[in-house]
Amino acid sequence: MPRFSKAVSSLRSSEIRDLMTLASRPDIISFAGGMPGNELFPVQEVEELFHELDSKKKQSAFQYGPTPGLPSLLESLAGFLEKKGLPVKENRLLITTGSQQGLNLLAKTFIDPGEPVLVENPCFIGALSAFRASEAELRGVPVDSDGISMRALQQEIDRTEKAKFLYITPYFHNPAGLLYTTNRKEQLISALQGQDIPLIEDDAYGDLYFYEEDRPRLKPIKAINPNGIDVCYTGSFSKILGPGLRLGWMLVPEEIYQKCELIKQSADACSPSFTQVLADAFIRSGQIYSYIASIRKEYKRRAESMVAALREHLPEYVKWNEPRGGFYIWLTLPEETDATRIMMLALERGAVFVVGKTFDPEGKRNNSLRLSYCNNTPEQIAEGIPLVTDAIKQVCG
């Protein structure tokens, strides 16, 4: 019988991945995956950009590349990030095979088995998986409408055994959909300064805001560049170009970068050169800005459709957020509700979503659910939401 490592024995399959099999059925309306709509990808634009490249550039797309990333993409991405005010020149930029690899690299850089890390509760399932793979002790810190709970966070900071880092997703949080307030970020910075607890700031959705007045709240903590905190900023092309490119990035201090690059060398040697060439061309053409603006409008339209359907059909006892960007709406049900029962009933009716315990660091609390509007048309949303709300009413009354 195989003798597996403790690390792999602690892993469990993502319920979101398991639901993808169901979601692929043509009779199911899926609100489960945080996937961009296939019809929104800039296929023709990218085809034309690749066609216009010279032969030498096309050949390089088929070749191995440097571990940190192709120099051309590092240069163009640096310009893209500097427009957001990020301190690129004071840090090091590393291309990763999706932002998920970035989380894995940081986990391996910091965590020894059994050591504590702080995460939001609820938390992005990919981060939980990455940290579990390094055998971390996950300590969940609750969030409210403004961001992470400062009282609960301070209690964790004050514990004798110091956490190895804090992981947050402040910009249209996955799964809770919230946008941190400026004041809450300032409080977070003050709490972490001088504590020797690095901050991992995951910004996969910040470009997908719906309202111009929110732009000041979208300034990354990394762009604030506070003294006394090592901020590791991660991002991705998955939501602003296409997840199939499997390209992300991290912007981190030099000392942390050196460790992450060494680990990446042993993981995959380099991220795909082909998609790096495509991403570089897309940035340099300037089309990335117009494309993001166009999908931002479409996701807002889809979010408004889901909000309208929920207002019409959802019982008053369900608490939920109206999204200001990103992909998700988070529903909180009465305390003792089992969202898995609701999901099974909704599935029988023809709709599926992700239950709350998937995002709980302890995998227990299950009176919430995540609805994703990004991969559905307004018509599909209008058809599918009543299937979900009917299931909620059947379980909760």
Q: What DSSP state is assigned to residue 357?
A: G
Sketch out the chain's domains with CATH numbers.
6-42+289-396 (3.90.1150.10), 55-287 (3.40.640.10)
Q: Between the CA of residue 270 and those of 186, 264, 274, 311, what are the distances in Å?
A: 36, 7, 11, 47
Q: Between the CA of residue 11 and those of 6, 8, 134, 355, what are the distances in Å?
A: 9, 5, 10, 19
The closest of 351, 375, 376, 274 to 50, measured between CA atoms, is 274
Give counts: helices (H), strands (E), the chain: 15, 14
Rounded to two decimals, the pTM is 0.95
Three-class SS state of 226 = coil
How confident is the prediction along the chain (397 residues), in pLDDT tens digits per residue? 787 777 666 666 656 556 656 556 678 999 998 999 999 999 999 999 999 999 999 999 999 999 999 999 999 999 999 999 999 999 999 999 999 999 999 999 999 999 999 999 999 999 999 999 999 999 999 999 999 999 999 999 999 999 999 999 999 999 999 999 999 999 999 999 999 999 999 999 999 999 999 999 999 999 999 999 999 999 999 999 999 999 999 999 999 999 999 999 999 999 999 999 999 999 999 999 999 999 999 999 999 999 999 999 999 999 999 999 999 999 999 999 999 999 999 999 999 999 999 999 999 999 999 999 999 999 999 999 999 999 999 999 8
